[in-house]
Amino acid sequence: MEAQKDTNLATRPEETSGRVVSIKKQGTVSNTKRIDRSFRQIRAENVFRRTLVIVALSMVVLVLGIMLTLIWQSTLSIRSSGVGYLWGKVWDPVRDIYGAYPYILGTLLTSFLALVISIPFSFAVGVFLGEYYPKGWMSDLLKNTVELIAAVPSVIYGFWALAVLVPIVRDFETKIGVEPVGLGIFSSSLILAVMVIPYAASLGRSMIQMVPANLKEAAYSLGATRWEVIRFVIFPYTRSGLFAGILLSLGRALGETMAVTMVIGNTSLIPKNIFSPGNTMASVIANEFTEADHPVYLSALIELGLVLFLVTVVINMIGKKMISRFTND
Amino acid sequence: MKILKCIAFSALAISGSMFMASCGGSGNGSNGDNVSNAASGDNNNILGAGSTFDNPLFSKMFSEYNKINGLKVNYQSIGSGGGIQQLTAKTVDFGASDAPLNGKQDSALSGPAIHIPVTAGAVVVTYNLPGIKDTLLMTPDVLAKIFLGKITKWNDPAIQAINQGVKLPATGIVVSHRSDGSGTTNIFTTYLTKVNKDWEAGPGKGSSVNWPVGLGGKGNEGVAGSVKQTPGGIGYVELAYAIQNAMSFAKMQNKAGKFITPNIASVTAAANIEIPADAKVSLTNTEAADGYPISGLSWVIIYKEQKYGDRNSDKVTKMVKLLQWMVHEGQQYSAPLNYAPLSEKAVSIADAQLKSITFDGKPVLQ
């Protein structure tokens, strides 16, 4: 059947031209109309395709443009601080000494810690919604609630963390015997974890729902338990999708500014442990940009933006590599 | 293929032009470019930008002035540094700042600028010591040592010595400071730089400094929040904010040796000193005997020669009249909003500065 269809498609152009020829015999008026129309169609096709290409390419241009702007605007700082900017431990705007190390460390610590905290939750939600309860009011409620988490503005999370989470963390810190500050990397990671759950969870859910039923049924027919099906059929099948969800969460955590800056303690000292206050690149930029009153200072902040941009790009590239490796297995 | 080539070329052209644009704008930074380029145009519209500290007072003053004279003032509180950059780029008619122009900023301007004092504010030291009802006394030396991290317990002998009769707890001191660059930080660190050699050699003064200890909070509310939540906390906030939120704040010892409660009267008193003709003076560690030592003026900064771009004399006259009104009649709106009115000496300097404004070489005010 399919082969026949293919030949049909292949012979179509001839057929069309044949029809054109037959129309030609009927009269010149309808003939030109017909040709006009097919020309118009071809032109519309081309215009549409060109628009698509231009719009798609403009995204590439935009990203390149942003990167070039960041590089250009930070040349002043790159020239004055050199490569030492990346591991310099002092950030002193008064004396024009700029070292981004504490902020790079703070950004990576909060993001990865948040990721570690969020993974069990996002996987659990993904499996529950994708496998156990794909339908029903319970699943709708949970699905909408999780999606709502992504829709709440980050300043609200920051506010809630400051009012509710920080005192709880402070009590916890008193109990385990570290300096009871409350504000710090641990608090920011907790709130970040909450904020990134929906990204991995909803991608995980749709991935798990896409696992072919016959695979699962085959496993069940061989006597596999539900856990075994999840462990040996669903997880291997959805591995790259789950990983992509985690990557999405990480991207979100790296760039989050408002909620983090409200609870991280904003100090340029190097954090001693995960309960110490710290600072992230995004929050330093947000805090200090408005009052950066001399050119080198402003340029150093823009360079911080460039570093954040590059960190995100590198982490994304590593992630892509890992996804393709998982899929190849 | 041809189409693809064409597209690739145009993409290159677009990215190229973006690059060029970014080069062009890099000279004065792009901080707050959202302020539209409307410094010229309608004569009844004045555009200003700068200090966030001034914003509540300015809003009140401008709305009152609008009722009298129908002049519209669009003030964008983007921060003092941003205001100065906008003035440098000539996208606003006036800038407002809590700190006078520094050398670099001054040389970036295309012509001489003048500072007109418009109001005064103060920074208070707030603390959280549950169970202590007396107002704490604070000396400059102890304050600097706390913020340097050298005094770490509330019952340190140095604090106890100036607060005889107060039973101070053995709680650790948790320092809070502003995380965002701010005029408040500038006044506070300028004061510490003046009164303490170690501070001068260490963090120094500026709108953001490298704090040796402590937590950063965003804005007055951020610092106030972290002080309120942390037993043993200490921080600094604007006087107006502390009064509005009924926070406890310390009495500071001034240069004359007196312990002064920060309030509107003692801040105005701090400005009752000899002010230089260019009005660029820091009131911190004031000589005035009953002045609160961590005070500062806030200025409107404009070009001395107002004929630039396509400005006309009508608009300039309206703006100068507005500034004159702010320095005189407008001062009645200060106290209700917890700003300190200008002292007599500050007003007379402001008047002299206003008279020096010229349009095409001729003074604007007769």
Say whether A50 and B3 touch across the interface (CB within 8 A). Answer: yes
Residues of B within 8 A of A263 (CB-CB) are none
Say yes or no: A324 contacts chain B, CB-CB below 8 A: no
- Same domain? For A114 and A14 the reply is no
| Residue at a domain's end among A62, A81, A100 | A81
pLDDT of A29 reads: 61
| Residue at a domain's end among A81, A112, A130 | A81
Q: How far is A229 from chain B (nearest CA, A)?
A: 48
- Same domain? For A15 and A155 the reply is no
Say whether A167 and B217 touch across the interface (CB within 8 A). Answer: no
Show Cβ contacts of residue A241 under 8 Å, excluding neighbours closer than 6 positions.
Answer: A203, A204, A206, A207
Q: What is the DSSP string of A198-234?
A: HHHHHHHHHHHHTS-HHHHHHHHHTT--HHHHIIIII
- Same domain? For A198 and A321 the reply is yes
Burial of B162 (C-beta count, 10 Å sphere; 0-12/13-18/19+) = middle
Q: How far is CA B312 from CA B44, B301, B317, B321, B360, in A?
A: 12, 19, 9, 15, 10
- Same domain? For A208 and A96 the reply is yes
Considering only CB atoms, A69 lies closest to which of B22, B80, B181, namely B22
Domain count, chain A: 2
Task: Calculate helix-pair angle for A295-328, A28-73, nearest 10 degrees.
Answer: 120
Q: By residue range, what is the domain housing residue A127?
A: 87-328
Q: Which residue has the tokens 């008279």?
A: B355
Say whether B215 and A54 touch across the interface (CB within 8 A). Answer: no
Residues of A within 8 A of B204 (CB-CB) are 94-95
pLDDT of B38 reads: 44
Q: How far is A292 from chain B (nearest CA, A)?
A: 6
Q: How far is CA A236 from CA A215, A247, B221, in A?
A: 12, 17, 50
- Are A58 and B14 contacting, i.e. CB atoms less than 8 angstroms apart? yes
Residue of A53, A67, A291, A302 to mutate, testing the B interface (most B Cβ within 10 Å of its Cβ):
A291
Q: Domains, chain B, ranges and CATH?
A: 5-121+298-363 (3.40.190.10), 123-270 (3.40.190.10)
Q: How far is A61 from chain B (nearest CA, A)?
A: 6
- Same domain? For A114 and A182 the reply is yes
Helices and strands (DSSP H and E) totals, chain B: 13, 13
Say yes or no: A50 contacts chain B, CB-CB below 8 A: yes
- Same domain? For A73 and A91 the reply is no
pLDDT of A329 reads: 53
Considering only CB atoms, A94 lies closest to which of B209, B214, B222, namely B209
Q: Where are the alpha helices (DSSP H) in chain A?
A: 2-26, 28-73, 75-81, 101-127, 137-151, 154-160, 166-176, 185-209, 213-221, 226-229, 235-255, 258-263, 281-288, 295-328
- Same domain? For A199 and A292 the reply is yes
- Same domain? For A190 and A323 the reply is yes
The closest alpha carbon to A249, from A127, A126, A101, A134, belongs to A126
Tell me how far the alpha carbon of residue B123 is from its chain's centroid. 11
Chunked mean pLDDT (size 10), chain B, 366 residues: 48 45 39 42 84 90 92 89 88 91 84 92 92 87 95 93 90 92 90 94 91 90 88 92 89 93 92 87 90 93 89 90 94 92 91 91 83
Which strands sit side by side in the sheet containing B259-260, from one edge to the other?
A: B137-138, B251-253, B259-260
- CB atoms closer than 10 angstroms to residue B23: 13
pLDDT of B23 reads: 40
pLDDT of A35 reads: 73
- Are A159 and A133 contacting, i.e. CB atoms less than 8 angstroms apart? no
Q: How far is CA B160 from CA A114, A187, B257, B288, B340, in A?
A: 43, 34, 18, 27, 32
Say whether B81 and A261 touch across the interface (CB within 8 A). Answer: no
Give dist(CA A193, CA A158) in Å, integer.
Answer: 12
Run of H or E including B297: strand B295-303
Considering only CB atoms, B216 lies closest to which of A54, A266, A292, namely A266
pLDDT of B41 reads: 54
| Residue at a domain's end among A81, A97, A119 | A81
pLDDT of A27 reads: 54
Say whether A60 and B11 touch across the interface (CB within 8 A). Answer: yes
pTM: 0.80
- Pairing status of strand B215-217 against strand B137-138: unpaired
Q: In chain A, which among 55-74 make CB contacts under 8 A with chain B?
A: 57-58, 60-61, 64-65, 68-69, 72-73
What are the beta bridge partners of residue B175? B234
Task: Calculate helix-pair angle for A235-255, A185-209, nearest 10 degrees.
Answer: 140
Q: In chain B, which among 120-179 make CB contacts under 8 A with chain A?
A: 172, 174, 179
Say yes or no: B348 contacts chain A, CB-CB below 8 A: no
Token pair for residue B285? Answer: 């560690």
Say whether A91 and B210 touch across the interface (CB within 8 A). Answer: yes
Give dist(CA B298, CA B301) in Å, integer.
Answer: 10
- Same domain? For A269 and A157 the reply is yes
Considering only CB atoms, B210 lies closest to which of A92, A265, A287, namely A92
Q: Is the dihedral of CA B188, B190, B195, B198 positive or negative?
A: positive
Say yes or no: A134 contacts chain B, CB-CB below 8 A: no
- Same domain? For A30 and A133 the reply is no
Residues of A within 8 A of B96 (CB-CB) are none
Residue of B19, B26, B213 to mutate, testing the A interface (most A Cβ within 10 Å of its Cβ):
B26
CA count, 13 A, side-chain hemisphere, B115: 22
- Same domain? For A186 and A320 the reply is yes
Say yes or no: B218 contacts chain A, CB-CB below 8 A: yes
- Same domain? For A61 and A191 the reply is no
Q: In chain A, which among 279-318 make CB contacts under 8 A with chain B?
A: 279, 283, 286-295, 298
pLDDT of B31 reads: 41
pLDDT of B350 reads: 93
Chunked mean pLDDT (size 10), chain A, 329 residues: 44 47 54 76 91 96 95 93 90 91 94 94 91 87 90 92 91 87 92 93 89 91 92 89 88 90 90 91 90 86 94 88 72
Token pair for residue B68? Answer: 């009298």
pLDDT of B229 reads: 85
- A277: nearest CA in chain B? B215
Q: How does DSSP classify residue A236?
A: H
CATH number of the domain residue A308 falls in:
1.10.3720.10
Say whether B32 and A290 touch across the interface (CB within 8 A). Answer: yes
Q: Where are the alpha helices (DSSP H) in chain B?
A: 2-24, 55-69, 80-88, 103-108, 140-148, 157-162, 183-195, 197-201, 219-229, 239-244, 264-270, 313-327, 344-355
Length of chain A: 329
Q: How far is B157 from chain A (nearest CA, A)?
A: 23
